[in-house]
Copies of this chain bind each other. A is one copy, B any other.
Amino acid sequence: MPQTLTPTEHRVLAAIDMDGLIAYLSELVAIPSLGGSPEENLAQEHVAAQLTRMGFEVDSWQIDLPTVQAHPACSWEVAREAALGVVATLPGAGDGPSLLLNGHVDVVPAGDVASWRFPPWQASIENGRIYGRGALDMKSGLCCAIFAAKAIQTAGIRLRGDLRIQSVVGEEDGGLGTLASLLRGHRADAAIIMEPTELRVAPAQAGAHNFRITVRGLAAHGCVREEGVSAVEKFVPIQHALLELERRRNARDHGPLFMHYELPNAICIGTVRAGNWASSVPDTLVAEGRYGIAVGEDPLLARHELEAAVAQAAADDSWLRDHPPTVEWWGGTFDPGATPVDHPVVAELASALTDATGAPAILNGMTYGSDMRLLVNVGQIPSVLFGPGDIRRAHCPDEYVDIADLRAVTRTLALTVLRFCGVV
């Protein structure tokens, strides 16, 4: 145990209820809170009930969807008839900085359940890991925050600044829930978002915008295919152009936080749909993907760069020249976001991590999209990503988180809250 902990800090760390955390995480995993499903709001109610029991002042409200969706920073992919906002406040004495801990309850679909070894909608524990959809991304991080706060209460500590726990819907499809919380006025002097960072302290996050490219060909019966133009064949030069664009963009200097990434701003074609009959020349191909955007880069200029690359590839092709592919931007629109590495929330988190775990803090940028850019860019709240587990285990079968990570993150969050908000 490091020597730098105060007796108060020792008391708080000792009060962390890991069994309770795992049990509560298991309850949340058992709610299939897919984005847009009724269970997404059930999970919110479950979190609100827990925070109410803990004595937080809980603001739980029906989000006014049309108003939020009219905001220029709003993006979403799934339809919602109702969405619940939940922000719980543990009021401080009023003479310290406030801290916001943000986590989302929505999860992505389980996909083909046959490819899971464990049931997706039930927490399974094996060899120190908890498996299940959302066990990693990011019900675990949210539980760490709740149980860090619980330990502070159990230890009888009164904070100087307010502590807020923000539980949100809609992160996976664009961040509607966090934006709604900001628009409702829930703010703080700094924020931590408990997304999976492998315990890295991440004060910067690259962006990712979803694109859709539609390539038009010319239909013909397959037996006279030379009289048609295959949209599948005409997509090949577009593919090449995107790979070349990705190479160019990633050859640029992205700074020390991103230097360990091979492709800090990946361009990923995620889906392709073309044609509807085996024996016809396909006249349409639709490809959807994600376009990585660098920290500090203007997202609109970045979009133009992709559009120009597609247009150039089209100009070099005799058919595409006269039938240019279209580029649309849709759904998830995660701008990049960053907080100065010397901001107190970054420094406190880094030293708390070392004190809580004995390991040196590593500062990294993250390359996946999250709600960080909303807190930073829209809310002007200095924010940092920090959470258990590896994003590579998210969105795939047998998603899991290590219990050791849960413990490390909960301890680190508890110390960070004590130090950032201050203790009366």
Contact = CB atoms under 8 A, between A and B. Distances in A.
A306 to B, nearest CB: 14
A233 B224 contact: no
A262 interface: yes
A275 B280 contact: no
Contacts of A271: 274-278, 282
A394 interface: yes
A266 interface: yes
A210 interface: yes
Interface string A141-168: 0000000000000000000000000000
Contact of A270 (B108, B212, B222, B227): B222
A139 interface: no
Contact of A223 (B227, B285, B292): B292
A280 B270 contact: yes
B395 A266 contact: no
Residue in A223, A239, A271 whose Cβ sees the most chain B Cβ within 10 Å: A223
A222 B268 contact: yes
A241 interface: no
Given A221-B394, A277-B395, A392-B224, A269 B282 contact: yes
A278 B270 contact: yes
B222 A289 contact: yes
Residue in A233, A263, A279, A395 whose Cβ sees the most chain B Cβ within 10 Å: A279
A275 B266 contact: no
A281 B290 CA distance: 10
B227 A208 contact: no
Contact of A222 (B222, B277, B280, B290): B290
A278 B288 contact: yes
Contacts of A208: 222-223, 279
Contacts of A230: 268-269
A220 interface: yes
A206 B233 CA distance: 24
A239 B239 contact: no
Contacts of A221: 368, 391-392, 394-396
Nearest to A268: B222
A290 B279 contact: yes
A369 B280 CA distance: 13
A219 interface: yes
A54 to B, nearest CB: 33
Nearest to A243: B233
A254 interface: no
A224 B266 contact: yes
A230 B367 CA distance: 19
A395 to B, nearest CB: 6
Interface of A: 108, 111, 206, 208, 210-212, 219-227, 230, 232-233, 236, 239, 262-263, 266-282, 285, 287-290, 292, 331-332, 366-369, 391-392, 394-396
The 8 closest A-B pairs by CB, nearest first: A222-B268, A271-B275, A223-B368, A278-B288, A270-B278, A279-B290, A272-B274, A223-B367
19 contacts: A108-B277, A206-B223, A208-B279, A221-B391, A222-B292, A223-B268, A223-B290, A223-B391, A224-B392, A225-B263, A225-B268, A226-B263, A268-B281, A270-B275, A272-B273, A272-B275, A273-B273, A279-B290, A279-B332
Given A208-B223, A226-B262, A279-B332, 20 more contacts: A206-B223, A210-B278, A210-B279, A221-B396, A222-B268, A222-B292, A223-B366, A223-B369, A225-B267, A230-B268, A232-B239, A268-B278, A268-B279, A268-B280, A268-B281, A269-B282, A272-B285, A278-B289, A278-B290, A280-B395
